[in-house]
Amino acid sequence: MSLRVTVLGAGSWGTTVASLLSRNTPTLLWARDPQVVTEINDNRSNERYLPDARLSQKLNATADLEYAIREADVIFVATPAQTFRAVLTEVARQIRPWVPIISLAKGLELGTMMRMTQIVDELLPGHPPGVLTGPNLASEIISGHAAASVIAMEDDTICRTLRRLFGSTVFRVYTNNDLVGCELGGALKNVIAIAAGMSDGFNAGDNTRAAIITRGLAELTRLGITMGGRAETFAGLAGMGDLVATCTSKYSRNRYVGEQLGRGRALDEVIREMHHVAEGVKSVSSVVALAEQHGVEVPIMLEVNNVVQELASPKQALRAVLRIESGAEWEPG
């Protein structure tokens, strides 16, 4: 492929995506920290976020944002959801017309409750927005383990073109035109993963975890459909696939936060020691607010928010989840 790609953000997922892309097309990775840039260019590594991983020899990095986007044909944005707007504001001053902007973030913006592609539409009208999402644990993918993802855009032609940039025997990318559903699946599953982690922290068992995952899937599906997503999206990679991986993997940041809370640690302490961002912690208040706005019941997500806002202890929240009155497994409509 002859498309020039830029990835903004050199965390674990941004670095992994950039390394994958660089094998097939010219790729430039932007990082704020010049030391990270030097390490990537000289040592083919990013030890802070991907310990012991070897990056593609074809990947180049820069700390110069203007240089990074000046000639880009496609831009992937891998910054956390809460800094997404600030980065795009800088990008908007220099980007060429009609360049697609693909989000790698899985969260909602605090205050506005906006999805990342909505921010793209607001700040960069005319630039096709999209999202790459799915059960994608960076440390496994960079090590060469097989994985699948989905790229979602409203324009099928652009979507199929970008999918081919990832051509690989171990990393398969599917297409989907349900942009709303794919993006919501990635954001909402993080909240459920915190609940699953709390269950693990209490050693509640596999049955409890499975119940939280499946009832959590029902919650995110209800809310996602109400907000315009399609039911089949939440049964696919962007929904169930991502949810299962995030709720069960030892590499999951959100599950880890929940587990530590279940073991009695304070949220501030857990967040302070992490090098990575747990998007569910930041997004949960926006998720609950959206659910209230749309009149959708999300009891598990509500209890996670109570813990994050220090309105309930993890033990109280888990007990509340287990006391939720049962009825029909799937309500009509």
> What does the block give as tokens for 300?
């598990």
Span 167-206, pLDDT tens digits: 888 899 999 999 999 999 999 999 999 999 999 999 999 9
**Residue 51 belongs to domain with CATH number:** 3.40.50.720
Range(s) of the domain holding residue 316? 180-322
Span 19-66, pLDDT tens digits: 999 999 999 999 999 999 999 999 999 999 999 999 999 999 999 999
| pLDDT score for 132 | 98
Rounded Cα distance, 323 and 333, in Å: 25
Of 58, 189, 250, 282, the active-site residue reads 189
What pTM, to 2 d.p., does this model score? 0.93
250 given a catalytic annotation? no
Q: Where are the beta strands (DSSP E) in the chain?
A: 5-8, 27-30, 60-62, 74-77, 101-103, 129-133, 147-153, 171-176
* Sole residue written with tokens 């990835």: 7
**What distances in angstroms separate CA 271 from CA 122, 192, 254, 308, one per listed residue?**
30, 18, 10, 11
The total number of structural domains in the chain stands at 2
| pLDDT score for 291 | 96
Do 9 and 149 sit in the same domain of this protein?
A: yes
Do 87 and 123 sit in the same domain of this protein?
A: yes
Last residue of a domain, one of 134, 158, 177: 177
Residue 333 has pLDDT above 50, yes or no: no
Span 255-269, pLDDT tens digits: 999 999 999 999 999
Residue 222 has pLDDT above 80, yes or no: yes
Residue 96 has pLDDT above 70, yes or no: yes
Residue 11 has pLDDT above 80, yes or no: yes
Last residue of a domain, one of 117, 149, 177: 177
> CB-based contacts of 319: which residues, under 8 Å, 6+ apart?
none
Residue 278 has pLDDT above 90, yes or no: no
Q: What is the CA radius of gyration of the chain?
A: 19
